[in-house]
Amino acid sequence: MILLNTGSKYVWLVFMYRTHKCSQVSEKIVGANIKVAGWVSGIRDHGGVKFIDLRDETGTLQIVAHEGQVNSVTRESSVSVTGILKKRSLEAVNPKILTGEYEVLALEIALLGACEALPFEIQESENVKEELRLKYRFLDLRNPKIHEKILLRSDVIHFLRCNMRELGFFEIQTPLLSASSPEGARDYLVPSRKYKGRFYALPQAPQIFKQLLMVSGFERYFQIAPCFRDEDSRADRAPGEFYQLDFEMAFADQEDVFSIGEQVLSSLFLKFGGKKVTDLPFPRISYAESIEKYGTDKPDLRNPLEICDVSEIFKNSGFKAFDGKIVKAISVSEVALKPRSFFDDMLKFSKEIGMTGLGYIKICENKNLLGPIEKFIPQDRRGKLLETAKSGENSVIFFISDIVKEKACKFACQVRNELAEKLGIIDKEKFAFCYVTDFNMYERDEETNKIVFTHNPFSMPQGGIEALEDMNPLDVLAYQYDIVCNGIELSSGAVRNHDIKIMLKAFEIAGYSKSDVISKFPSLFRAFSYGAPPHAGMAPGLDRILMLLTGSENIREITAFPMNSGAQDILLGAPSEVSEEQLREIHIKIR
């Protein structure tokens, strides 16, 4: 029996299997007859007296039983124990657990669910092969470390819901059966039984629906939205489905969205992260600046190293390895006296990632240069090099070059990260946030040479219709942005294009006619003819947030029932074959 405070009154609740959870034992009820229930995580035999470690969702409690009470009880069986709560003797106290001062002297032990021989030890499940863990995921989830991550997921979702409501947003569910989208990743298609030869699609995101909600007068929408994309898995991307905090705001611009995003994420990470969080407002970094300084549009700002471009310094220098190429430099302070092995390890790393080599010079006393490529740096350009790289005495400048700018930036990013890891200068006790802004609206497709949308085709171009009509499309920037934390992209977002004239011109540049736009996006085209407000939003990924909060390296660690890396559900056996009758009902024939 438990006394429950409902806020307005107290209610006695009677439970058949327990009166208390393990963590609820206390000094106040010592000597009382109580009932607890859970799983047997361990049994220790002390010559006729057996000690059972009983585990429930809140903790572990020691049960003292005699031989005859546990004959049929095995580890990981579920049991209900009736007994008297006692205090342990001082020498028997276990300081490692919350309930270490107490034990229950068992009067009766009821076996509720017997357990067969275990395929692996529960406490060691994280070290078991993934296929076996997923096959017995219900056992894997009993591991307190894994269990806590799933409970944290629940707490995070509850926290987000409460925060969004306090900020004036309303949770609205959007459909899971929708129309296939011509843009983005591959859809998951669902055949229609009623309409032969037609298909629904599971939503890649609630994009169109949330924009329609803005037109409908729901000015602040959010939901914990499931999204479905038929993509290959990565460590930070589950195959098939994921969840995001999806929100949209009417009569809002980019800064309005930034304000909401940073308020919610800052408070979330401060509450659950246990580390420092970037002060508000979060830094705003343009895409161009991010590529130049960090070599990526997902910068890890815990790393203080920056990249600079020194291509001009080596132009017409006669040094064939750099002349005429894109040359990036990274200056690192106080490392000139590092042993030769440090530089050999960096050279080895550079070759492992595909570089032909990694040049470097040391800046010694009086700013004299020393190193393998020192002789190739013209005397009259050395001062400019040190100024550009911001290098002083006892520093080392590492050089990364390639004929292709994108490759040079990518290599420089990888070298920057490796240097920071080797030197231990990444602040591991911080969540470093930033917004990356001003993405290009268009890019040129490498295969077709056609101009295509870089990201979301429904984004508003900076400069409006005039930019689309007067500028080179490849120079047009969009009101698109990402939020990044510790080098991980948590979300993309944009100010939406709500003006039909601008929309038609934007799609025209990408090769779509007016009839194409109307046929592919009829709902938006129709809705935007009826007083559409300016609107903007974003959708931070819940799974990646939880990876950061828990320090997990794989997204499957924070998902209750994940698929494996091959997009298979090992536990339930999906994807599975279906009967010929089922296929006939939905007008499908396997080719």
pLDDT, tens digit (0-9, with 9 covering 90-100), for 518-539? 998 899 999 999 999 999 999 9
pLDDT band at 235 (very low <50, low <70, confident <90, very high): confident
State the first-to-last Cα distance of the chain, in angstroms, to the nearest integer. Answer: 61
Average pLDDT rounded to a whole number, residues 140-145: 96
pLDDT at 437 over 90: yes
What's the CA gap between 20 and 56, in Å, rounded?
11
pLDDT band at 373 (very low <50, low <70, confident <90, very high): confident
Mark out the alpha helices in 273-370 (DSSP H runs).
Answer: 287-294, 340-352
DSSP 44-55: EEETTEEEEEEE
Query: What is the per-residue pLDDT for 372?
Result: 84
Residue owning tokens 């085209």? 525
- Give yes or no for a contact between 150 and 558, defined as CB atoms under 8 angstroms apart: yes
What's the CA gap between 166 and 159, in Å, rounded?
11
- Give yes or no for a contact between 403 and 323, defined as CB atoms under 8 angstroms apart: no
Average pLDDT rounded to a whole number, residues 363-386: 87
53-57, 95-99, 285-289, 375-379: the lowest-pLDDT one: 375-379
pLDDT at 318 over 90: no
Give residue-wise pLDDT tens across range 267-294. Answer: 999 999 999 999 999 999 999 999 999 9
Please indicate whether residue 78 or residue 376 has the higher confidence score (pLDDT).
Answer: 78
Q: How many Cβ atoms sit within 10 Å of the Cβ of residue 47?
A: 6
Please indicate whether residue 7 or residue 39 has the higher confidence score (pLDDT).
Answer: 39
Q: Specify the long-range contacts of residues 46-53, CB closer than 8 Å, at least 24 apart.
A: 52/79, 52/81, 52/106
pLDDT at 12 over 60: no
Listed residue (511, 436, 442) closest to 477, CA to CA? 442
Listed residue (44, 47, 16) closest to 110, CA to CA? 16
7-21, 146-160, 191-205, 473-487: the lowest-pLDDT one: 7-21
What's the CA gap between 351 and 358, in Å, rounded?
8
* Mean of per-residue pLDDT scores for the chain: 93
Lookup: tokens for 189: 């298609």
pLDDT at 3 over 70: no
pLDDT band at 233 (very low <50, low <70, confident <90, very high): confident
Lookup: tokens for 148: 């806590």
Please indicate whether residue 318 or residue 150 has the higher confidence score (pLDDT).
Answer: 150
CATH 3.30.1360.30 intervals, the chain: 303-426
Listed residue (265, 307, 301) closest to 283, CA to CA? 301
Query: What is the per-residue pLDDT for 184?
Result: 67
Main-chain phi, psi angles of 367, to 5 degrees? 60, 30
DSSP 492-552: EEEEB---HHHHHHHHHHTT--HHHHHHHSHHHHHHTTS-PPPEEEE--BHHHHHHHHHT-
pLDDT band at 8 (very low <50, low <70, confident <90, very high): low
Average pLDDT rounded to a whole number, residues 97-124: 95
Residue 74, C-beta contacts closer than 8 angstroms, at least 6 positions apart: 40, 43, 114, 115
CATH number belonging to the domain at 2-113, selected among 2.40.50.140, 3.30.465.10, 3.40.50.300, 3.40.1390.10: 2.40.50.140
CATH code at 303-426: 3.30.1360.30
- Residue 217: strand, helix, or coil: coil
Average pLDDT rounded to a whole number, residues 112-132: 95
CATH 2.40.50.140 intervals, the chain: 2-113
Q: How many Cβ atoms sit within 10 Å of the Cβ of residue 42?
A: 15
Task: Give me the amino acid identity at 520.
Answer: K
71-85, 125-139, 235-249, 459-473: the lowest-pLDDT one: 235-249
DSSP 108-157: EEEEEE-----SS-GGGGGGS-HHHHHHTHHHHTTSHHHHHHHHHHHHHH
Query: What is the per-residue pLDDT for 72?
Result: 86
Query: What is the per-residue pLDDT for 215?
Result: 97
- Give yes or no for a contact between 484 and 298, defined as CB atoms under 8 angstroms apart: yes
Q: How many Cβ atoms sit within 10 Å of the Cβ of residue 92?
A: 12
Residue 10, C-beta contacts closer than 8 angstroms, at least 6 positions apart: 3, 4
CATH 3.30.930.10 intervals, the chain: 146-280+433-439+478-498+533-580
Query: What is the per-residue pLDDT for 375?
Result: 86
Residue owning tokens 């006393």? 365
Query: What is the per-residue pLDDT for 166?
Result: 98
pLDDT at 4 over 60: no
pLDDT at 378 over 90: no
pLDDT band at 198 (very low <50, low <70, confident <90, very high): very high
Query: What is the per-residue pLDDT for 10?
Result: 54
Q: 146-280+433-439+478-498+533-580, what's its fold?
A: BirA Bifunctional Protein; domain 2 (3.30.930)
pLDDT at 496 over 90: yes
Please return the burial class of 190, using the count of CB atoms within 10 Å of its CB with bins 0-12, 13-18 and 19+: middle
Listed residue (396, 395, 392) closest to 373, CA to CA? 396
- Give yes or no for a contact between 435 and 282, defined as CB atoms under 8 angstroms apart: yes
